[in-house]
Amino acid sequence: MSEKPFALAVKALVADDQGRILAIRRSAASSQFTGNWDLPGGKVDPGESFDVALAREVAEETGLSIVLTGVAGATEYDCPNVRLAVLFMEATVQSGEVQLSSEHDDHAWVEQSKLPEMGFAGQLREFVCNYCRR
């Protein structure tokens, strides 16, 4: 059994008004997984509630303001110093247009049936495949 502590991360399946999901691609400026597609989100800061953290991360990474609509599921990522418990939330766009930060260099609105074909890495790929199979 690993002795590394758990931290909480949150990621969003952000749907547009046609139900397509926003995927973003990690740039060379990203800390890891350059070129892989990802969902917006990140770690919950100490003292921060999960919904505030998710809205903050999505705004930072995509420029969009979101409304949470449901729970999509959870998985875990094993990182060098920590294990991340990753909670995935369903969301819709409240306002804004996509404007990426330097950590990502492309975005796509993807039909749910096509999500498993995106180049997601590792545990995210597995989660998305299970989610789309429900």
Report the nearest approach of a second copy to the CB of residue 48 (Å). 9
CA distances from 22 to 13, 42, 77 (A): 7, 15, 21
Of residues 10, 36, 33, 32, the one with CA closest to residue 23: 36
Among 20, 36, 50, 101, binds a second copy (CB under 8 A): 50
Q: How far is 24 from 2, CA to CA, in rounded Å?
A: 31
Choose between 27 and 73: whose C-beta lies nearer to a second copy: 73
Question: Which H or E run includes 52?
Answer: helix 50-62
Report the nearest approach of a second copy to the CB of residue 92 (Å). 8
Report the nearest approach of a second copy to the CB of residue 10 (Å). 9
Tell which positions 9-48 bind a second copy, by CB under 8 A: 46-47
Q: Are 98 and 59 in contact (CB under 8 A)?
A: no
Residues pairing with 24 in the sheet = 38, 107
Tell which positions 74-103 bind a second copy, by CB under 8 A: 74-76, 85-89, 92
Q: How far is 40 from 18, CA to CA, in rounded Å?
A: 19
Site mask for a second copy (CB under 8 A), range 104-123, x = bound: --------------------
Query: If you write DSSP's letter for every residue of 19-36 in order, what string do you get?
Result: -PEEEEEE-TTSSS-TT-
**Number of residues binding to a second copy, judged by CB under 8 A:** 26
Task: Confirm or reject binding of residue 64 to a second copy (CB under 8 A).
Answer: no
User: Which residues contact a second copy by CB under 8 A?
Assistant: 1, 5-8, 46-47, 49-51, 67-76, 85-89, 92
